Structure 1
Amino acid sequence: MHIVHTIPELRAALAAYSKPAFVPTMGNLHDGHIALVRQAKPLGDATVVSIFVNRLQFLPHEDFDSYPRTWEADCAKLQAAGCDVLFAPRESDLYPQPQTFKVQPDPQLADILEGQFRPGFFTGVCTVVMKLLSAVFAGKSQGVAVFGQKDYQQLMVLRRMVQQFALPIDVVAGQTQRAADALALSSRNGYLSEAERAEAVQLSLALQALGRDAVAAAQALPEQCAALEAQAMQALGARGWQPDYLTVRRRSDLQLPQAGDGAGALVVLGAARLGNTRLIDNFEI
């Protein structure tokens, strides 16, 4: 595995390849990340992974400084998964000057749900991903980028960004990886205490139940969805959670469902804080 830190080093390492397959990460890797790397490997002629904790997508009160950095363990996992090139830029490598030019995503898609509770988050994500894509795919006529479906809204935003800028990159979704009890794997699961970890699966269970109720009420979704969502949030709140949202949306645009939308057209998404840890999850229904 070739480890590089600067954009010129990365481009030199990829000069002999015509179709990289790229997995961007913030490190602190778990089995979900490694599944994305393994998914990417047969899709290109070089498998590239980045590790960069992106300051631009953290709000001032969030965990940028305390976000876990696990460099040696990450390298060992990527080596075992067959990563060819690891791009690990320092902040000064990726942002040598203040990043005053930024990618502003469509507010209709990016200012709802996560964007409502984390204003500016998707601007930070789009800006760093655009810069990473530029670094990895410069001079390439085609490529593949793999993003996890656990970050469902983020995947949609980035897919739209790639489409609208006509980048020669296929955006591929990686299925959410789950623990045996169905908790979605996440770097932030490591913040949970033992008791919180046992409770954490309740977010997944609440979303699955909301999805079943929504499909059963498919012909009356506009009238009933708000009530179903309120019930789900109240039930989770009664267990000590602080929910931001548990909601039913259309897969196509994350807007509110319409009468007749049913199984195959919808997704349930949720974000809630358990203790000091904010977890997200989703299920297509």
Structure 2
Amino acid sequence: MSSTSADVAPDLVCQLDSVQGMVDALSSVRWKRHQDAVVELSEHGIVLIVEETGCLQAKVYLKRELFLQYDYAAEGRPRFGLSLGLFVDCLNAFSAPGHAPVIEMRYPGPDMQLLLKSVDSPDACIYAEIRTRIPDTISWDYNFEPAGSVPITFTVRSAVLKEAIDDLEWPGSSIQILLQPDPPSVTFKGEGHGDLQIEFLYYANNDLLIAFQCDQHISYRYKYKFLRATTSNIPSSVLKDNRGSKLTIGRGGMLKIQHLVSILRPGTQHHFGDHGGIQQPSRIAYIEFYAKPEEDDAPVINDA
């Protein structure tokens, strides 16, 4: 390490004490074994971005309030690329049964690494370096815009959403999502060797379909593999807590799916609202997926 490198203040030094929650949040956007990610730093927190062939993009928002310490000294918003799987594996290496370690993350190291070390163990210090790279340019801008004056959105229990998508599996095929305002309902329809559809009626069972807002008939198709990626690694804590996932269809059929993942400190109890929503927003990681519709699909949109 050169003296010049040693004297330069890092862009970010932060500490976290909720390793498992961080692993859960990052794993939720890991839909294949070898996956690269782009990390963006700012004074407000950390954003991790992954994408697939310009058709699916996911972001994990880690606000600065999730960290015990967050010292940000950079100008602008530095970005770097890394292996998502390696990052998750390194965080897991710090975790031990019955012990919730405090981890310090520092970027950049002397060779532009992401540095991690345990800071609360008197007996041993675990240390890791993750090689980073100059990030690729994000290949598409989701540019999510409302489809009309009334947002087209609904919220469904996360466990129910995952089960519905799993049940509609048609490898290599697509899933059609249909919304209609009267009666208020959402239908997921799979087509393969036969047809299979799952319908949620808003007023019939609002324990499943928590919220619904739509003023027009609308229908778009999405690649099954992309829809499955949005739910395949939802953390078990989200399913167990009966949390809700929000789906919104924007202009051109762009689909946004939002999940909430708890990043709780050790020994912290969950406090939920009437609809499974955490009442401590500062301890939540926000997960967003953006999926493009099938290009050759003609949407069905009629005025209400």
TM-score by length of 1: 0.26
Which structure features the higher share of helix residues?
A: 1
Which structure features the higher share of strand residues?
A: 2
TM-score by length of 2: 0.25
Larger Rg: 2
